[in-house]
């Protein structure tokens, strides 16, 4: 079955950087686009970024353009999110999500929590 | 970018029908997707492309999309349907995903 397992979250000071990872299994990772979606505490869902199956296309939400970088390693079935210049408002649960037909999200990981605090 | 407007909360008695709306000026021309999120869990896709159900989603869940309103309808509501529901579209003109603010469904 499809499994997406995020890691790399934690408590980090404002201005620092963090790299999130997502280990994928149960499907042919290299043939699927992937997304990161985040959810602030007691908040709604917010789409962050997308990467195409071969990594050639990357899209970002306006709010994180320039600070977030999505990447993938198809040889290891892994997805990454590099977050720089962290801000308190980046505090959220970050979900790794599989793309469905370029328009929706069909499988979600359980998320990794990022807390930005001094 | 699109702004998808959902009511913050909807309440329904068990066995009745619940409707969750998602409003945007031209939403009838877009493909709308719906997610269910129970407390402490990841979201689950329950309707995609306005009306289609993924494998494993009960037939009680259905969707429609006309004019400026997309609707998720849950028939014969059960206690286990209590959750937050989010609508979503893909903005293909700007290549980004958009979620509604979410609706908390309470089963009375």
Residue A46 is predicted with a pLDDT of: 97
Average pLDDT score over residue span A106-118:
97
- Contacts of residue A81, defined as CB under 8 A and 6 or more positions apart, other chains included, come to A19, A20, A22, A36, A48, A49, A68, A69, A70, A94
For residue A108, which residues of chain B lie inside 8 Å, CB to CB?
Answer: 42-44
Residue A112 is predicted with a pLDDT of: 98
Is residue B98 within 8 angstroms of chain A, CB to CB?
yes
* Alpha-carbon torsion, ordered B26, B28, B33, B38, to 10 deg: 80
Residue A85 is predicted with a pLDDT of: 95
Distance CA B7, CA A79 (A): 34
Residue B103 is predicted with a pLDDT of: 98
What is the mean pLDDT for each group of 10 consecutive residues in chain B (108 residues)?
Answer: 93 97 94 97 97 96 97 97 97 94 97
DSSP collapsed to 3 states, A7-31 = ECCEEECCCCCEEEEEEEECCCHHH
Note whether B42 contacts A109, CB cutoff 8 Å: yes
**Beta strands per DSSP E along B48-94:** 61-66, 69-74, 83-91
Distance CA A92, CA B50 (A): 29
* pLDDT bracket for residue A103 (50, 70, 90): confident
The partner residue sitting opposite A102, judged by closest CB among B41, B43, B90, is B90
* Alpha-carbon torsion, ordered B53, B59, B64, B69, to 10 deg: -100
Residue A101 is predicted with a pLDDT of: 87
Average pLDDT score over residue span A83-112:
95
Tens-place pLDDT, residues B23-43 = 999 999 999 999 999 999 999
Residue B17 is predicted with a pLDDT of: 98
Residue A97 is predicted with a pLDDT of: 98
Note whether A95 contacts B42, CB cutoff 8 Å: yes
Distance CA B48, CA B26 (A): 18
Task: HSE, CB side, 13 Å, CA atoms: give it for residue A1.
Answer: 5
Tens-place pLDDT, residues A26-72 = 999 999 999 999 999 999 999 999 999 999 999 999 988 889 999 99
For residue B42, which residues of chain A lie inside 8 Å, CB to CB?
Answer: 95, 108-111
């Amino acid at each position: 079955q499809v499994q997406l397992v995020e890691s790399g979250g934690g408590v980090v000071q404002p201005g620092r950087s963090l790299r999130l990872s997502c280990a994928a299994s149960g499907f042919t990772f290299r043939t699927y686009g992937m997304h990161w979606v985040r959810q602030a505490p007691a908040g709604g869902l917010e789409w962050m970024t997308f990467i195409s199956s071969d990594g050639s296309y990357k899209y970002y939400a306006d709010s994180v353009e320039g600070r977030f970088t999505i990447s993938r390693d198809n040889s290891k079935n892994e997805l990454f999110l590099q977050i720089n210049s962290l801000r308190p408002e980046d505090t959220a649960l970050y979900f790794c999500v599989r793309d469905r037909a370029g328009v929706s999200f069909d499988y979600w990981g359980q998320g990794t929590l990022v807390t930005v605090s001094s | 970018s699109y702004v998808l407007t959902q009511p913050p909360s909807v309440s329904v008695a068990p066995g009745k029908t619940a409707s969750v709306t998602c409003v945007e000026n031209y939403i009838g021309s877009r493909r709308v997707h719906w997610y269910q999120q129970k407390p402490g869990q990841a979201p689950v896709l329950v309707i995609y492309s306005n009306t289609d159900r993924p494998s494993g989603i009960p037939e009680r869940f259905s969707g429609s999309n006309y004019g400026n309103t997309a609707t998720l309808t849950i028939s014969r509501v059960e206690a286990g349907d209590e959750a937050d529901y989010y609508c979503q579209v893909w903005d293909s003109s700007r290549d980004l995903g958009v979620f509604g603010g979410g609706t908390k469904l309470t089963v009375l």
